[in-house]
Amino acid sequence: MQQFNALPGPRGLPLVGNAPQLQRNPLAFMRSTHAQYGHLVRLSLAGTPVVCAYAPEHVLYCLTEHPRDFTSLQSQQRSNMREVLGEGLLTTEGEIHRQQRRLVQPAFHRQRIDQYADVMVRYTEQMLETWQPGQELELASAMQHLTLRIIVHTLFSVEELSQANQLSEAFTAVIGRPPQGLGRPRVLSRFSAQTRDFNRGKKTLDDFVYGLIQQRRATGGDRGDILDMLLTAQEEGQGMSDSQVHDQVMTLVAAGHETTQNSLCWTFYLLAQHPEIRQKLLLELHTVLVGHTPTVADLARLPYLEWVMNESWRVLPPVWRMGRRAIHDFTLGDYHLPAGTIVLLSQWVTHNDTEIWHDPQEFRPERWDPIQGEKVPRGAYFPFGLGPRICIGMPFAQMETKLLLATILQRYTPEPVPDHPIELLPSVTLRPKHGMRVTLNPTSIQEQMIKSV
């Protein structure tokens, strides 16, 4: 058994180690370490031992086989987000996390979320009514607005447009653009416009969420939204306190909207790069839906749509890396590693590994065909994480992205504007750095069908 220092890895600078390389261009840096040093790579970040663990068996070791031996780095890094997310699922660990997870889980059972399909399609159609053929628009903002409206409705049953917009704006100010003061000395940014928006947004949300909780506790009943599920969730006769419900609500919006928004943007982008795949998808939509808006029951009859989404999450995973910190000494492959080591897992690297995937650079939905497609080991594909911290919103996101894509594509095929730069910005999620300007071309099924014959 070898020790941490025997692991292969790039040289770092004195004191800061590999931090500058990782910060400058993390996507290229992580892939290059994999190409050069293999599946286990040693890094040092300002003295903290870090190991990049790229093989599927390493992913399984940390996420599904020994999850209790690690804490989530995300929960620690976000510790200054505690002001917003409080004691929600993203920011808690150990028994508190497990208990909260059991209480929140029923809100995301398949039957429960199937009820949100109508809302998802209805709001998408309302958005499409405002779109014009040939119009140019910024797709990332349009998808953000739509996914926020949907989550605000499914959480609180807010129908009225002005109230939904007000809440969406407040969420964007608080979660989408946290003030620079988070992580910087407060005094520097206390008076900035961003901090003012943040404080105002936080007050709007706190007043609204706590007000609604009190009202619901007083009146009872079940309107079928997530808030009601959280309020009635019980374990051994014990439910969640008002502040716990509040924190879970904030966490669900924080974890849910940017990931889904980016997924949709990248999928439209990939489809525009591969017109033959888009035609195949349009043909499936046309054959199965015959021009109708999709329902949740239709999704089972749209396998190609599912393969397209799976492939989009493989090629451009919205969450592109995850971190864990070891609580005890542990063994990974042939190495004995000390407590405190940070383990970096990366969907961006593992989903692109040529030892696992055939031509991984290619966007090829057919690889997801259960009969003729590729067989990859468990742990090779983890866009939603794995194990006890797997994305709780996964069924919600899978349904939402498929319904929105099918509804929009039947009317419009967004084409990126040729001279608009498309660049990846690896923040918590993989975003389009300069947004995504597209032209809204009307979808002509006949034309697509003729082309494909």
Residues in contact with ligand HEM by the rule CB under 6 A:
72, 74, 89-90, 101, 251-252, 255-256, 259-260, 263, 318-319, 322, 383-385, 389, 391-393, 396-397
| Minimum separation from the CB atom of position 384 to ligand HEM (A) | 5
The residues facing 424 across adjacent strands are 432
Q: How far is 4 from 40, CA to CA, in rounded Å?
A: 10
Give the N- to C-terminal CA distance of the chain in Å, as an integer.
60
| Minimum separation from the CB atom of position 433 to ligand HEM (A) | 19
| Minimum separation from the CB atom of position 255 to ligand HEM (A) | 3
Residue closer to ligand HEM, measured from CB, 383 or 432:
383
User: Do the Cβ atoms of 154 and 225 come closer than 8 Å?
Assistant: yes
Q: How far is 257 from 250, CA to CA, in rounded Å?
A: 11
Residue closer to ligand HEM, measured from CB, 170 or 255:
255
Residue closer to ligand HEM, measured from CB, 45 or 283:
45
| Minimum separation from the CB atom of position 229 to ligand HEM (A) | 12
Q: How far is 209 from 87, CA to CA, in rounded Å?
A: 15
| Minimum separation from the CB atom of position 383 to ligand HEM (A) | 5
With a CB cutoff of 8 Å and minimum separation 6, the contacts of 406 are 285, 289, 294, 298, 302, 305
In what order do the strands lie in the sheet containing 342-345?
40-45, 48-53, 342-345, 322-326, 70-72
391 is in an annotated binding site: yes
Residue closer to ligand HEM, measured from CB, 45 or 417:
45
Q: What single DSSP character describes residue 293?
A: P
| Minimum separation from the CB atom of position 185 to ligand HEM (A) | 28
For residue 354, what are the CA distances in angstroms to 282, 325, 367?
30, 28, 14
Residue closer to ligand HEM, measured from CB, 62 or 281:
62
User: Do the Cβ atoms of 117 and 296 come closer than 8 Å?
Assistant: yes
Residue closer to ligand HEM, measured from CB, 235 or 447:
235
Residue closer to ligand HEM, measured from CB, 90 or 240:
90
Q: How far is 154 from 400, CA to CA, in rounded Å?
A: 12
Residues written for the chain: 453
User: Do the Cβ atoms of 140 and 261 come closer than 8 Å?
Assistant: yes
| Minimum separation from the CB atom of position 267 to ligand HEM (A) | 10
Residue ranges of alpha helices (H) inside 274-393 are: 275-289, 303-315, 347-350
Q: How far is 323 from 338, CA to CA, in rounded Å?
A: 16
Show binding-site residues for heme.
Answer: 391
